[in-house]
Structure 1
Amino acid sequence: MIDPALLAEASWTTPPAAVEQEGGLRVTAVEGSDAWRHTSYGFVHDDAHGLLAPFGARDAVEVSFRLDFTEQFDQAGVLLRASASEWVKAGVEVSDGVPQLGCVVTHGTSDWSVAPVPDWVGRIVTVRASRDGDAVTVRARADDEEFRLVRVAHVDPALQLAAGPYCCAPTRAGLTVSFTAWRRTAPDLALH
């Protein structure tokens, strides 16, 4: 379920090509949209479609979507953002023909970590980001499996963040992501 209270306080970082809100949230990305800063590629993209609401210093957010996209660099998940140069995105991105569970952490420049999840295709993926102190812990799962740890990332505890679902389509037009849930929860009690 998409939490109506989150929708009421959220705004887009960059408006998508289209949005439908019946039975969830269907978002169609603009061709060429992405989020990345400098590293390896040498470019800056700051036009991913994030629907973000305030995110506290001790808070957690979960975003769920159907993994039914297949084109190079199609991606969806959760975005935590303070500014154009301070953000974290985590979710599934298609890379070299394979869906990859990954996370990009950006403190001025971006990094990227991935792990293949081809068995998640056609399933509901949930990405959870839990913030406490100077860390954001990212976990993910398919359907009702146990959450697996994706990343523990440093985030300045003084930063004012906003968080929510995001998608982008760096290489094509026509990517539509079906988000099935977006909810705020209590932060994780422990890392392990």
Structure 2
Amino acid sequence: MRGTREWLNPPADVVQHDDALTVTAEHGSDFWRETLYGFTRDSGHALLVPVESTGSLEVSFFVSFDGRYDQAGLMLRNDAAHWIKAGVEITDGSPHVGAVVTHGRSDWSLAPVPDWAGREVTVRASWAAGAVTLRARPHGEAWRTIRVAPFDVGAATGAGLYLCAPERAGTVVTFTGVRHGEPDTDLHEDPPVP
């Protein structure tokens, strides 16, 4: 890991306390590109640091938000048209774990996880050989693989935490950890501890 952390679209408020970061999203913040809805939004909040061509990132946070499309997790970003976000998003009234992979246009995969509401969750990205493996789990449970996607991590790639509040003001997320480490050694084994 090299460089310093920098906000892409600074949020409404950031409070550092001990090892946690409590962040308030701006109303209307989002990352999406064209597919189905016909709009492009690049106003979400992401605290990114440049990363190497192989590695991993884990972001932990509490699923304490409950507004429609409120979301938090991790982001890998090359530019406005090439990025991945993965985490927890509120849709149809409950938390869903999912990912948006964008190569010019966005695609969205998700699965309901209603029992994650109010819990601490960790989302993990591991990248090597032109692919990213995405996993997630609530604290104390086993990893779930949620996506394997093509994505080239290069000199321009930043990685870090992200949050968005597309439809309301006052969305607050407490992030409890951001850890960079080694990539996964095997898709079917638990990843190394960062």
**TM-score > 0.5, shorter chain as reference:** yes
Equivalent position SS for 2:178: strand
Q: Which residue of 2 aligns with 1:100?
A: 96
Q: Which residue of 2 aligns with 1:48?
A: 44
Counting matched residue pairs gives: 187
Q: Identity, % of aligned pairs?
A: 52
2:16 maps to 1:21: yes
Amino acid aligned to 1:89: K
- Length-normalised TM-score, structure 1: 0.94
Deviation at 1:160, TM superposition (A): 2.9
Q: Provide closer, same or farther for how the CA distance between residues 159 and 150 of structure 1 changes in structure 2, counting only shifts above 3 A.
A: farther
Unaligned runs of 5+ in 2: 189-194
Q: Which residue of 2 aligns with 1:155?
A: 151
Amino acid aligned to 1:21: Q
Question: Where does 1:39-118 land on structure 2 (aligned, <5 Å)?
Answer: 39-118=35-114
Amino acid aligned to 1:124: E
Deviation at 1:148, TM superposition (A): 0.5
**Contact between 2:51 and 2:155, CA under 8 Å: does it hold in 1?**
no
Equivalent position SS for 2:69: coil
C-alpha distance in 2, partners of 1:17/1:157? 29
Q: Which residue of 1 aligns with 2:115?
A: 119
Q: What is the root-mean-square deviation in Å for CA atoms of aligned residues?
A: 1.4
**Contact between 1:56 and 1:160, CA under 8 Å: does it hold in 2?**
no
C-alpha distance in 1, partners of 2:115/2:155? 36
**Contact between 2:52 and 2:155, CA under 8 Å: does it hold in 1?**
no
C-alpha distance in 1, partners of 2:32/2:155? 19
